[in-house]
Amino acid sequence: MSSNLSGKVILLTGAASGIGRGTAIKLNSLGAILAITDVNEPALAETLTLCSGGSNSEHHTAHTLDVSNSADVEERVAQVVTKYGHIDHVFNCAGVNPTAMSLTETSEAYFDKLVSVNLKGMFNVTKATIPHMIAPGGSYVNVSSISGWNPDAGTAVYCATKFGVIGFSKCMALELGPKGIRVNIVAPGYINTPTNAGIVRGTPEARRRMEQGNALGRMGTPEDIAGVVAFLMSDEARYMNGSVVGVDGMLIT
């Protein structure tokens, strides 16, 4: 896998923490050239530092980016293309995790925030990058969730966005496949990241319930997802298009 990702220009959103940061570190270790983005500039700078030392790390760049703002996306993508000339792969990872609440407690502002980042943000980045993708050979890996097919009471808006990510991605796989550009989806389960506090609720009891409800007896890690993302971008996954890959350790129902 390392040979066919080495030197590839990869744009990542949501790279300041969690799955995005873990995937940036993994791709750096495989010799990719990274354009990492996030709204959190200080944490993004930390990710850039953690990606030092790779064979192409001197070529990495970091850009603050609000994926929900189409003008901001267009400007940042233009900067990336000006520097590198093209994009080989895109990792659409930027997202807002859910806060468990009933629909009657859910505000319009909360609805707008999740939809604008989780769904519209992916639309903005995909639309802006398509003209600059290597074809054939380019790919998108988009982050959905096990909530993209497994509804859960108290997370209606989040589930709606993650169901939407799968539908959007499959349509893009049909649209871009004839150009030789693949689109695949990774669907993480419960991953131990700082932004999952709204699900875990910060209590040891809630964490234990999650671990006991998983066949592997633990929550996932960003590294568990990063390896799958790297595979989906590689030539080993060259006939995977429109696939939804669950990475959840197998929930016990």
The domain that holds 225 is classified in CATH as 3.40.50.720
Per-residue pLDDT reduced to its tens digit, 152-169 = 899 999 999 999 999 999
Residue 184 sits at φ, ψ, to 5 deg, of: -130, 165
- For the cut 60, the answer to whether the pLDDT of residue 205 exceeds it is yes
- For the cut 80, the answer to whether the pLDDT of residue 201 exceeds it is no
Domain encompassing residue 233: 2-246
Please check whether residue 20 lies inside any domain of the structure.
yes
Angle at CA of residue 169, ends 231 and 182, nearest 5° = 45
Please check whether residue 252 lies inside any domain of the structure.
no
- For the cut 60, the answer to whether the pLDDT of residue 243 exceeds it is yes
Cis ω for the linkage preceding 136 (within 30 of 0): yes
CA 15 remoteness from chain centre = 8
Distance CA 200, CA 208 (A): 10
Please check whether residue 86 lies inside any domain of the structure.
yes
Please check whether residue 253 lies inside any domain of the structure.
no
Q: Helices 70-84 and 121-129 sit at what angle, rounded to 10 degrees?
A: 40
Distance CA 206, CA 180 (A): 44
| Domain total of the chain | 1
Contact between 186 and 225 (Cβ < 8 Å):
yes
Please check whether residue 157 lies inside any domain of the structure.
yes
Per-residue pLDDT reduced to its tens digit, 81-122 = 999 999 999 999 999 999 999 999 999 999 999 999 999 999
Per-residue pLDDT reduced to its tens digit, 208-238 = 888 888 888 898 999 999 999 999 999 999 9
Please check whether residue 251 lies inside any domain of the structure.
no
Distance CA 49, CA 20 (A): 14
Distance CA 68, CA 121 (A): 5
Active site residue 158: yes
- For the cut 90, the answer to whether the pLDDT of residue 125 exceeds it is yes
Instruction: Out of 84, 140, 158, 190, pick the active-site residue.
Output: 158
Q: How confident is the model at residue 197 (pLDDT cuts 50, 70, 90)?
A: low
pTM value? 0.94
Helices (H) and strands (E) in the chain, counts: 10, 7
